[in-house]
């Protein structure tokens, strides 16, 4: 079955067979800017570079404006998600996505170790001294290395909770050194 020629869409031809005179280039193609409610937006209120999209990578830091307590709360939330977010039904055993992702051989452990290392990096950015970050790195290394062992490593991930331990270490240090 063939399509009638009227149903074929070509760049310079409309369905009615008439050719379009619109070029869609230059100033005559630009019309008013309309918002979602149908109101016209004045051109003066638009950004001066509204002729096209412009991306500036590396200039924005979404975490730069957070306070110390907000950053610590973010780290605690991530640690809880990684280590104790869920409960095994009928038991008191808690596990997180670290244990779930760790079920993927090798790759899962690499991913969760990388996330744990980011937590250590954030602790260092908060001013944690070398001895705190060294203990945190030891926890991450132990969790990562033992986690590579099939099944036993996954059980160890659930029980050891390296991320919760690391955030607890950081919080204790921050409470002792409030202005560090």
Query: SS3 helix, strand, coil % of the chain, rounded to 5?
Result: 50, 5, 45
Residue 125 pLDDT > 70, yes or no? yes
Please write down the long-range contacts of 18-26, taking CB distance under 8 Å and 24 or more positions apart.
none
Cα 116 off chain centre by:
14
Per-residue pLDDT tens for 78-95?
Answer: 999 999 999 999 999 999
Asked if 71 and 174 count as a contact pair (C-beta separation under 8 A), the reply is no
Q: 140-143 long-range contacts, Cβ below 8 Å, gap at least 24?
A: 140/113, 140/116, 140/166, 143/98, 143/112, 143/113, 143/116
118/74 Cα distance (integer angstroms): 12
**Is the dihedral angle over the CA atoms 31, 33, 34, 39 positive or is it negative?**
negative
pLDDT score, position 97:
93
The rounded distance, in Å, linking the Cα atoms of 122 and 116 is: 10
Contact 75, 123 (CB under 8 A): yes
Of 5-9, 91-95, 107-111, which gets the smallest average pLDDT?
Answer: 5-9
pLDDT at 118: 95
Query: How many other CB atoms sit within 10 Å of the CB of residue 127?
Result: 14
Residue 74 predicted with pLDDT over 70:
yes
Q: For residue 166, what pLDDT is reported?
A: 96
pLDDT average, residue stretch 122-139: 94
Which pLDDT belongs to residue 120?
A: 95
Distances from the Cα of 171 to the Cα of 42, 131, 154, angstroms:
51, 14, 26
Note the pLDDT tens digit of each residue in 131-169.
Answer: 999 999 999 999 999 988 888 988 998 899 999 999 999
**What is the spatial distance between Cα 84 and Cα 104, in angstroms, rounded to a whole number?**
19
Sign of CA dihedral 25, 27, 32, 35: positive
């Amino acid at each position: 079955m063939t399509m009638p020629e009227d149903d074929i869409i070509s760049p310079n031809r409309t369905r009615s067979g008439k050719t379009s005179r619109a070029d869609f280039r230059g100033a005559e193609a630009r019309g008013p800017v309309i918002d979602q409610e149908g109101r016209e937006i004045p051109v003066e209120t638009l950004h001066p570079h509204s002729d096209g999209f412009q991306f500036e990578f590396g200039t924005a830091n979404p975490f730069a404006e957070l306070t110390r307590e907000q950053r610590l709360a973010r780290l605690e939330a991530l640690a809880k998600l990684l280590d104790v977010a869920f409960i095994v039904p009928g038991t008191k055993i808690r596990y997180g996505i670290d244990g779930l992702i760790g079920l993927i051989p090798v790759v899962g452990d690499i991913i969760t170790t990388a996330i744990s290392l980011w937590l250590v990096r954030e602790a260092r950015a908060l001013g944690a001294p070398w001895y705190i970050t060294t203990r945190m790195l030891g926890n991450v290394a132990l969790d990562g290395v033992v986690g590579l062992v099939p099944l036993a490593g996954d059980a160890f991930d659930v029980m050891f909770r390296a991320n919760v331990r690391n955030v607890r270490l950081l919080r204790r240090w921050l409470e002792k050194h409030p202005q560090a």
